[in-house]
C-alpha cells in the first residue's frame, strides 16, 4: 500500500494494520442529512441476508477503523461501497493542516467485482 499512497508513514500504516485486527462496533450516531441504518456483521454475511433485512437499501457502505501516525498528524482509513451497481474501495490518507483541520493527502481507488 505504501507505493500507492504518496507520503504514507510507516507508523500510520502500522497503526492501521493493528486496528483492523481489533473488533469494533459503530452506533447510529452520525449527524448527517440522509436516513441510514447501521448493519451488523451478521446482516452482511451474504447479499441475500442483507437484502432480506434491509429491502429498501440499495447500497452498503463500509468504513474501516482509522490508523494514525505517532504524532496524530496523519490518518489512514478505508471506505468501501458495495451492492451499488458496482463496488469501489478507497484507501484514504489524510493529514492535519497547520490550523488543525484534516485535509486529503492522497487516495487510492480500486474497483471491486
pLDDT one-digit tens code per residue, 64-96: 999 999 999 999 999 988 776 668 889 999 999
Residues of the chain short of pLDDT 50, as ranges, are none
Structural domain range at position 59: 10-22+38-112
Is 5 a domain residue?
Answer: no
Dihedral (CA of 102, 86, 21, 10) sign: negative
SS3 content of the chain, % helix, strand, coil (to 5): 20, 35, 45
65 occurs within a structural domain: yes
**Burial class of residue 67 (count of CB atoms within 10 Å of its CB; 0-12, 13-18, 19+):** buried
Residue 29 inside a domain? The answer is: no
33 assigned to some structural domain = no
3-class secondary-structure state, position 13: helix
pLDDT of residue 84: 67
For residue 30, the model assigns a pLDDT of 83
In this prediction the pTM is 0.81
CATH number at residue 96: 3.10.450
Q: Are 69 and 54 in contact (CB under 8 A)?
A: no
Structural domain contains residue 68: yes
DSSP-assigned states of every residue in 46-94:
SHHHHHHH-TT---EEEE---EE-TTS-EEEEEEEEEEESEEEEEEEEE
Q: Is residue 99 part of a domain?
A: yes
Contact yes or no for 64/87 (Cβ under 8 A): no
Quickly tell me which residue has 461501497 as its cell: 81
Please tell me the total count of domains within the chain.
Answer: 1
Q: What is the pLDDT of residue 113?
A: 63
- Confirm whether 32 is domain-assigned: no
Residue 31 included in any domain: no
Amino acid at each position: 500500500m505504501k507505493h500507492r499512497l504518496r507520503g504514507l508513514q510507516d507508523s500510520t500504516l502500522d497503526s492501521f494494520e493493528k486496528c483492523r485486527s481489533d473488533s469494533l462496533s459503530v452506533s447510529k450516531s452520525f449527524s448527517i442529512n440522509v436516513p441510514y441504518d447501521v448493519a451488523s456483521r451478521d446482516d452482511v454475511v451474504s447479499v441475500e441476508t442483507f437484502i432480506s433485512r434491509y429491502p429498501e437499501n440499495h447500497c452498503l457502505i463500509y468504513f474501516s477503523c482509522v490508523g494514525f501516525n505517532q504524532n496524530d498528524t496523519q490518518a489512514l482509513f478505508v471506505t468501501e461501497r458495495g451492492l451499488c451497481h458496482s463496488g469501489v474501495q478507497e484507501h484514504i490518507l489524510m493529514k492535519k493542516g497547520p490550523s488543525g483541520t484534516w485535509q486529503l493527502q492522497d487516495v487510492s481507488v480500486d474497483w471491486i467485482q
